[in-house]
C-alpha cells in the first residue's frame, strides 16, 4: 500500500488539493476536539452548579435542625428541672403544691423526637454529585453527619422509658388529669368537656410510690445521654454548616 502511494506521481495541482484536504481534515478534528472540550466544560459547570444548589439546600436543612436542637434542649431542660423538683419533694427538701407537682409529673409523659432533614443530602448523594466535590474532607464530613443516629436512638430509648410506666391503672391517678386544667380545647370540634381548674389526683401521695420515683430516676439517667447527644449534634451541625459556607464562598 505504502509502495503504491509512494509510486503515485502527483502534479502541482494535485499536491495543492492534497494539502487543502489535509488542512480541512485537521480543522475538522480541531473543531471536534474544541466542541468536545466545550461540552465537557459545560457539563462540569452544570454539575458544579447543581452541587452548589444542593449544598445550599443542605445548609438550609442544617439551620432548621439547629433550631430543632435548641428547642429540644430547652424542652427537656424544663422536664428534667421538674423531675428534680419532684425528687426534692420526695426527699422532703422542697414543698410544692399539688398543682405544681402535677404539672411537673405530667410534663414527663410528653416527649419530642428528632430526625434529620435529609432530602437535599439524599439527592446530593444519590446523584453522585457529592463524590465529585473536590473538597473530599467536606464530602466525608457530610456523609458522617447524616450517618450518625445517636441523638435519635437516645430519644427513642427515652420514649420507651416513658411508655413503660402505665399510670392508667394507678388508684392515686385520675386519667382526666392528663387534660390540662382550665383549658377549653377550643380547636377541637364539638368539645363539650368541663375541665376543672385543679387536678383531681393526689400527686403529693402519688410521687411517694417507689415505682414513680424509679421511673423518674430512670428518665434522669436517660436524659443525660439525650443532653450529651444534643450538645454533640449542635457542635457537628455548626461545624458542617461553616464548612459548607466556606466551600460555597470559594
Assess if residue 24 is contained within a domain: no
Residue 82: which domain range? 54-249
Assess if residue 179 is contained within a domain: yes
Assess if residue 14 is contained within a domain: no
Cβ contacts of 88-96, under 8 Å, gap ≥ 24: 89/204, 89/207, 90/207, 90/208, 90/213
Domains: count for the chain: 1
CA-CA distance, 231 to 93, in Å (whole number)? 31
Assess if residue 80 is contained within a domain: yes
CA-CA distance, 214 to 18, in Å (whole number)? 98
pLDDT at 2: 44
Assess if residue 36 is contained within a domain: no
Assess if residue 101 is contained within a domain: yes
pLDDT at 11: 60
| H or E element that contains 66 | helix 12-90
pLDDT at 245: 95
Q: Could you report the average pLDDT of every consecutive run of 10 residues in the chain (250 residues)?
A: 48 66 70 65 64 93 97 97 97 95 93 93 91 91 95 95 79 83 88 88 90 94 97 97 93
Assess if residue 28 is contained within a domain: no
Assess if residue 10 is contained within a domain: no
Neighbours of 223 (CB within 10 A): 19
Tell me the backbone φ, ψ of residue 111, rounded to 5 degrees. -145, 155
Q: How far is CA 77 from CA 97, 171, 220, 224, 227, in A?
A: 21, 30, 11, 10, 9
Residues 111 and 162: beta-carbon distance below 8 Å = yes
pLDDT at 5: 45
Amino acid at each position: 500500500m505504502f509502495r503504491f502511494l509512494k509510486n503515485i506521481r502527483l502534479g502541482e495541482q494535485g499536491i495543492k488539493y492534497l494539502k487543502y484536504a489535509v488542512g480541512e481534515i485537521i480543522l475538522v478534528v480541531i473543531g471536534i476536539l474544541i466542541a468536545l472540550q466545550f461540552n465537557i466544560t459545560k457539563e462540569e459547570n452544570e454539575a458544579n452548579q447543581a452541587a452548589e444548589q444542593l449544598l445550599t439546600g443542605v445548609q438550609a436543612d442544617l439551620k432548621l435542625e439547629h433550631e430543632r436542637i435548641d428547642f429540644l434542649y430547652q424542652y427537656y431542660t424544663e422536664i428534667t428541672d421538674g423531675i428534680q423538683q419532684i425528687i426534692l419533694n420526695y426527699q422532703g427538701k422542697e414543698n410544692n403544691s399539688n398543682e405544681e407537682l402535677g404539672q411537673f409529673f405530667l410534663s414527663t409523659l410528653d416527649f419530642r423526637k428528632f430526625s434529620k432533614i435529609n432530602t437535599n443530602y439524599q439527592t446530593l448523594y444519590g446523584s453522585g454529585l457529592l463524590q465529585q466535590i473536590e473538597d473530599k474532607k467536606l464530602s466525608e464530613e457530610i456523609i458522617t453527619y447524616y450517618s450518625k443516629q445517636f441523638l435519635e436512638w437516645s430519644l427513642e430509648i427515652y420514649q420507651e422509658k416513658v411508655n413503660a410506666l402505665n399510670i392508667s391503672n394507678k388508684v392515686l391517678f385520675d386519667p382526666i388529669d392528663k387534660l390540662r386544667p382550665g383549658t377549653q380545647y377550643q380547636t377541637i370540634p364539638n368539645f363539650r368537656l368541663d375541665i376543672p381548674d385543679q387536678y383531681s389526683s393526689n400527686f403529693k401521695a402519688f410521687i411517694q410510690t417507689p415505682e414513680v420515683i424509679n421511673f423518674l430516676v430512670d428518665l434522669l439517667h436517660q436524659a443525660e445521654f439525650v443532653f450529651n447527644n444534643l450538645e454533640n449534634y449542635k457542635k457537628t451541625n455548626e461545624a458542617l454548616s461553616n464548612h459548607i459556607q466556606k466551600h460555597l464562598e470559594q
